Amino acid sequence: MARQGLMEPLRRPLFRRLATTYAVNELGDWMGIIALSVLVFERTDSALATAGLFLGTRFLPALFAPLLVTRAEKPPPRYALPVIYCFEAAAFGALALLTSHFSLAAVIAVAAVDGALALAGRALTRSVVAELLERTGELRAGNALLNVAFTGGAAVGPALAGLIVAAFNVQTALLLNAVSFYAIAWILLTAGELPRAEPEAGRMRDRVRAGVSYLREKVALRWLLIAQGAAFVFFAAVIPVEVVYAKETLGANDSGYGLLLASWGVGMVLGSLVFAAVHRASLRVLLLFSTLAVGAGYLGLAAAPNLALACAASALGGAGNGVQWVSAISAVQELTAAEMQARVMSVLESIGAAMPGIGFAVGGVIAAVVSPRATFLVAGLGIFAIVALMVPILAAKWPERRRSESSEPLDSGNEIVLELMPGVAPAKSDPGLKR
Residues 6+ apart with CB under 8 A from 127: 73, 77, 196, 197, 341, 342, 345
**Domain match, 263 and 379 both:** yes
**Domain match, 257 and 136 both:** no
| In contact, 234 and 317? CB cutoff 8 Å | no
142 vs 58 pLDDT, higher one: 142
**Domain match, 171 and 226 both:** no
The total number of structural domains in the chain stands at 2
Q: What is the per-residue pLDDT for 140?
A: 79
Q: Is residue 205 part of a domain?
A: no
pLDDT band at 35 (very low <50, low <70, confident <90, very high): confident
**Domain match, 192 and 227 both:** no
Predicted confidence (pLDDT) per residue in 347-367, tens digit: 888 888 888 878 888 888 888
Q: How far apart are CA 143 and CA 120, in angstroms?
A: 18
**Domain match, 191 and 230 both:** no
Q: How far is CA 5 from the centre of its chain?
A: 25
Task: Convert 105-123 to b/e letters by CB count within 10 Å (16 or more is b).
Answer: eebbebbbbbbbbbbbbbb
Q: What is the per-residue pLDDT for 205?
A: 76
* Backbone φ and ψ of 351, nearest 5°: -60, -45
**Domain match, 192 and 229 both:** no
CATH of the domain at 103: 1.20.1250.20
**Domain match, 56 and 164 both:** yes
Global pTM value: 0.73
Q: How far apart are CA 315 and CA 223, in angstroms?
A: 29
Q: Is residue 64 part of a domain?
A: yes
**Domain match, 223 and 269 both:** yes
Q: Is residue 66 part of a domain?
A: yes
Domain region containing 138: 1-196
**Domain match, 190 and 227 both:** no
Predicted confidence (pLDDT) per residue in 249-308, tens digit: 888 887 787 788 778 878 888 888 888 787 678 888 899 999 999 999 999 999 999 999
DSSP three-state, residue 14: helix
- Alpha-carbon distance values, 312 to 258, 308, 324 (Å): 14, 6, 18
Predicted confidence (pLDDT) per residue in 72-126, tens digit: 888 888 899 999 999 999 999 999 999 999 999 999 999 989 988 988 888 888 8
